[in-house]
A and B are shown apart, each in its own frame.
Chain A
Amino acid sequence: MRILKDRLAKRTMLVLTAVPTFLVLLILIGLFIRARPILAQKPFFSLFFSSAWSPLKGDFGLLPFIMGTLWVTFVSLVLAVPISLLTAVYLSEYAPLSVREFTKPIIDLLAGLPSVIYGVWGVLLVVPLVGRVIAPLFGVTSSGYTILAGGIVLAIMIFPTIISVSLEVFSSIPYPMREASLSLGATKWETVHHVVLKKGLQGIIAAIVLGLSRAFGETMAVLMVVGNIPRLPGSVFDGGYPLPALIANNYGEMMSVPLYDAALMLAAAVLLLVVLFFNVLARLILVRVERRAA
C-alpha cells in the first residue's frame, strides 16, 4: 500500500515536472495561433517595418512600438549597467560584511516592489525632473513623459537583476586567483580589473542580458511615464510607445475592431520570442559559468 502510494506519487510528480518545459512552448504556440489571422492577411513587411498604425483603417505597423521598446531598453541599460556593476564589484570585493548584510535586503526589496509603485513614483518625481530640469538643461521643451523618464525608472527596476547575477558570478571566481594577483603587487582595483572582471566577463554579459530582457518586457511602470505616442521617437526627449504598453493599453477595445486582437497577440508573441532568446542565451552562459566553478 505504501509502495503503491509512492509509485502513484512518482507518476504524478513526473508529469507535473514536465509542466515547466511544456508551458514555455504552450504559451508560444497559444500566442501564435491567436496571431495567425493577421500574419495570414498582412504581408510581413507591413507589420514589422511600417510605422502606419491605425487599427480602424486596418493598418498595423508595429515599427514605432518596436523602436519605442528598443529606445527605452537602451537608455535603461546605459544608466543601469555601470552603476549595477560598480555596486556588485564593491559588494563582492570591497565591502565589509556589515555593509553587505545591510545592502542585500535593500536590493531584494527593490526587486520586490510592484511595478505600479515604480510607475507612481516616476509620475511624481522622474517626470517632473525630466520635464523641468533635465530637458531645459539641454534646451528642449518637454512634458517630461518621455523615453528618458521611462529609461530612468526602468534602470532602477533592473538594478537588482544585474547586481544579484553579477554577485553570483563574482563569488564563483576562486579566491586564490585574487590572492595571486595581489601578491604580485597589483592594487585592489587592478586585481578586480584583470582577474575578477576578466574571469567573470561571460557571467557579466549574462547578467546584463537578463537585465535587458527584464527591461524589454516591463509594462506598467514604463507605460505610466513614457507618454504613449505611437510615433517613431527621434530623441530621448520624445515620447515613446513600447510594445508591452501597446498591449496593456488596448486590451479593452481589441475585441471590437477586426484583427486588432490578433495584432496585439502578435505583439505579445514578438515580445516573448525576444525575451526567450535573451533568457535562453543568458541562462546557457550562466550554466557554463556555474559548471566551471563547480
Chain B
Amino acid sequence: MSHPSSLHWLRRRKLKEGIFRVLMAASVLVVIGCLALIMGTIIWKGLPAMNLSMITQTPKGGYYLGREGGILNAIVGSLYLASGATVLAILFSLPVVLYINVYAQKRSRLASLTRFSLDVLWGIPSIVYGAFGFIIMIFFGLRSSLLAGILAVGLLEFPIMSRAADEVIRMVPNELLEASYSLGATRLETALKVVVRQCLPGLLTAVLIAFGRGIGDAASVLFTAGFTDRIPTSLFQPAATLPLAIFFQLGTPFPEVQQRAYASAAILTVLILVISLLARGLGKRYTRHIIK
C-alpha cells in the first residue's frame, strides 16, 4: 500500500474515527457532567439554608412570608403518601407479575399483552394520572386527601414496580419451578414460597424504585393530595408533599423562603439518593438485566 492516494484515504478514515471518538467522549462527559452539575447546584444552594428547624417543625404562621417553622409536614406527608401508594402498588403488581410468570407461560400471548400494557402505562405522564385520580375522586365524592393522593401515586407506581419485578422474576429458571412442582407443591405455594423468596432482593429493589418515584412526583399529587400546614392524622385529610412544598416555596417572592425551597430540594435529593443507593445495594446481583 505505498500508493500515496490510498495512504491519504486511510488517513482520512483514521481522522474520522478520531473525530467521532472525541465527540462520543464529549457526550459521555456532558451526561455525567449534567448529573454532577445538578447535584452540585442543589447541594451548594441548599446547604447554607438548611437548619434543624427545617426538618423538625411544621410551618408556623407566616412561614411563607419568611417567618419561623419548617417543612416537617411535607416530609411526613410525602412519606405517608409514598408508603401508602407503594403498599397499594405491591397489592396489585405482585399478583400480576406472579401470574404472568408462574401461572401463564412466560412467553404466552397473555404475558406479552400484559407486559406491553405495563410498558404503555409506564409511559403515561404523571399529570394524566393526576387528572385521572381527580376524576375518580369526584366520582366517589372525595375531597383532595391523603387517600386520593395515594390512589393517584399508587397508579403511577404500579407499572414501574411491575416491570422492575417482572425483569427479576423472569430470570428464575424453569427447573426451579419444576423441582418445586415435583415435590408436590401447588403453583400458589411455588409462587409464594419459592419464587418470591428466590427473588426477594430484586423485588425489594423494585419496591424501592417505585417508592422513590412516588416520593418525588409532584404532578400527580397536585390535584389529589391537596396541601396543608398540618401533618395529616387520617386518610381523609389533605397532605402536604415535599415536591409541592419546594414548588410553592420557590414561587413566593421572598428570598428567605426561596432559600428554604433550595434547602427542601436538597433534602429531597438526599432522600432520593439514599433510596437509590439502597435499591442498588440490595439488588446488585439481580438488576443486571434491568436497564430502565
Residues of A that sit less than 8 Å from B by CB: 2-3, 5-6, 9-10, 12-14, 16-17, 19-21, 23-24, 27, 30-31, 33-34, 82-84, 86-87, 89-91, 94-95, 99, 103, 105-121, 123-125, 156, 159, 161, 163-165, 167-168, 187-190, 192, 210, 213-214, 216-220, 224, 244, 247-248, 251, 264-265, 268, 271-272, 275-276, 278-280, 283, 287
The answer for the CA separation of A194 and B19 in the assembled complex, in Å, is: 17
Q: Is the CB of A268 within 8 A of B127?
A: yes
Q: Is the CB of A214 within 8 A of B216?
A: no
Interface residues of B in 1-40 (CB under 8 A from A): 13-14, 16-17, 20-21, 23-28, 30-32, 34-35, 37-38
> Which 10 residue pairs are nearest across A and B when measured between Cβ atoms?
A217-B125, A114-B216, A90-B24, A86-B27, A13-B99, A20-B117, A279-B123, A6-B186, A219-B219, A268-B131
Q: Is the CB of A271 within 8 A of B128?
A: yes
Contact residue among A16, A33, A94, A276 (Cβ-Cβ distance under 8 Å from B99): A16
Q: Is the CB of A17 within 8 A of B31?
A: no
Contact residue among A21, A120, A159 (Cβ-Cβ distance under 8 Å from B250): A120
With contact pairs A114-B272, A168-B291 given, residues A248 and B121 touching in the complex (Cβ less than 8 Å): no
Which residues of A are found within 8 Å of B130, using beta-carbon distances?
247-248
Q: Is the CB of B27 within 8 A of A90?
A: yes
Chain B residues touching A, range: 35 or more
The answer for the CA separation of A165 and B110 in the assembled complex, in Å, is: 24
With contact pairs A20-B121, A87-B24, A268-B128 given, residues A116 and B246 touching in the complex (Cβ less than 8 Å): yes
B247 CB, min distance to chain A CBs, angstroms: 6
Q: Is the CB of B123 within 8 A of A110?
A: no
B145 CB, min distance to chain A CBs, angstroms: 15
Contact residue among A10, A34, A111, A125 (Cβ-Cβ distance under 8 Å from B292): A111
Contact residue among A30, A99, A110, A113 (Cβ-Cβ distance under 8 Å from B135): A30
Minimum CB distance partner of A122 in chain B: B38
The answer for the CA separation of A151 and B256 in the assembled complex, in Å, is: 29
